A and B are shown apart, each in its own frame.
Chain A
Amino acid sequence: MVPFNYIIVLSAFMFFCGVFGVLFRRNIIAILMSVELMLNSVNLLFIGASKVVGNLDGQIMVFFIITVAACEAAVGLAMVIAIFRKFGSIDTDKLRVLRG
């Protein structure tokens, strides 16, 4: 089996893709999907680390991360719908006002 180093590199690449998406995409749904990508890269790291130290705590932590990711997706998509109702667009450039 491969060493843990390669798993860290793969995970870092996924996190990097997520950062790229958050910084450069302007579609809010795409930004949310990039956040999911970053959360998943951390999951991969936890599973690999649990295999290195021989401890199940990493796999438990992945459960909680999946829970938080599900909550984040639900609330985030609700906000996307609210933003779309308010502004008629989900382009981040259209959201220039802070006041409701």
Chain B
Amino acid sequence: MGATLLFGIFAFLIVACSLMVVLAKDSVVSAVFLVADLFVMACIYALLGADFVAAIQVLVYAGAILILFLFVIMLLNLDIVAARTNAGPLEIGMFIVVLIGFGILVVNLLLGERIELLPPGDSGLSITGKGNSYDLGLVLFSKYLWPFEMASVLILLAMVAGVLIAKRGKKKQP
């Protein structure tokens, strides 16, 4: 019962923060609400038994990516972009299609059969019984070793690309 109540609180916070992210006029307000959103999502991960992913979520998202966003907002020193929306017929049409799909999905899920989660004591998620981080490391460095190495190559590429794109163009020599 306590877990259900906690999930309800977190779900409400996520809904409110997500709406504020997309509706706030100021980019800084959006970024701060995105931090709150990601933090509450980490809470839900912990509730679902994914402790290590919750820690990574707080460290990487709330710690690194959002700092990057805030840093860029500060660097560009923007005025608040006027609160117009580019609502052409194409955007409104796409939005209506997405809205209909979302409605169908929600109605189906709320009226359809319940898909139960495993109970907290179930041993399906723990291989060795030494905790979530231990099991995750075991799987990550055996079954997913090559994707893991490829991820490091991807990060290297992104770093090089970021430096190259954001670098100031060469000054013309006189």
The 0/1 profile, CB within 8 Å of B marked 1, for residues 3-35 of chain A is: 111111110111011111101111101101110
Q: Is the CB of A73 within 8 A of B68?
A: yes
Which of A21, A26, A74 is most buried by chain B, counting CB atoms within 10 A of its CB?
Answer: A74
Q: Looking at B30, B72, B135, B147, which has the most chain A CB atoms within 10 Å of its CB?
A: B72
Flag if A68 contacts B76 (CB, 8 Å): no
Q: How large is the interface on A (under 10, 10 to 19, 20 to 34, 35 or more residues)?
A: 35 or more
The answer to whether A33 and B95 touch (CB under 8 A), given A2-B7, A51-B125, is no
Pick from A54, A56, A70, A90: contact of B136, CB under 8 Å: A56
User: Once the chains are docked, how many angstroms separate the CA of A64 from the CA of B152?
Assistant: 10
B84 to chain A, nearest CB (A): 7
Q: Mark A55-84, 1 if CB is under 8 A from B, else 0.
A: 111011011101111111111011111101
Please tell me if the beta carbons of A17 and B125 are within 8 angstroms of each other in the complex.
no
- Chain A residue contacts of B140, Cβ below 8 A: 60, 63
Contacts of A43 in B (CB 8 A): 41, 57
Q: Check A24 against B4 for contact (C-beta < 8 Å).
A: no
Residues of B within 8 A of A72 (CB): 158
- Mask, B110-150, CB within 8 Å of A = 1, is 10101111111010110100000001100110011001000
Partner of A3, one of B65, B116, B154: B116
What chain B residues lie within 8 Å of A57 (beta carbons)?
139
A57 to B75, CA, bound (A): 39
A-side contacts of B102, CB under 8 Å? 12-13, 16
19 A-B contacts, Cβ less than 8 Å apart? A1-B117, A1-B120, A6-B11, A21-B22, A24-B85, A24-B91, A29-B69, A37-B22, A37-B37, A40-B37, A50-B125, A55-B125, A56-B139, A60-B143, A67-B154, A67-B155, A72-B158, A78-B163, A85-B168
- Interface residues in chain A, defined as those with a beta carbon under 8 Å from any beta carbon in chain B: 1-10, 12-14, 16-21, 23-27, 29-30, 32-34, 36-37, 40, 43-44, 47-48, 50-57, 59-60, 62-64, 66-75, 77-82, 84-85, 90-93
In the A-B complex, the 10 residue pairs with the smallest Cβ-Cβ separation, listed nearest first, are A54-B124, A71-B158, A21-B22, A78-B166, A4-B115, A78-B165, A17-B18, A3-B114, A78-B162, A5-B109
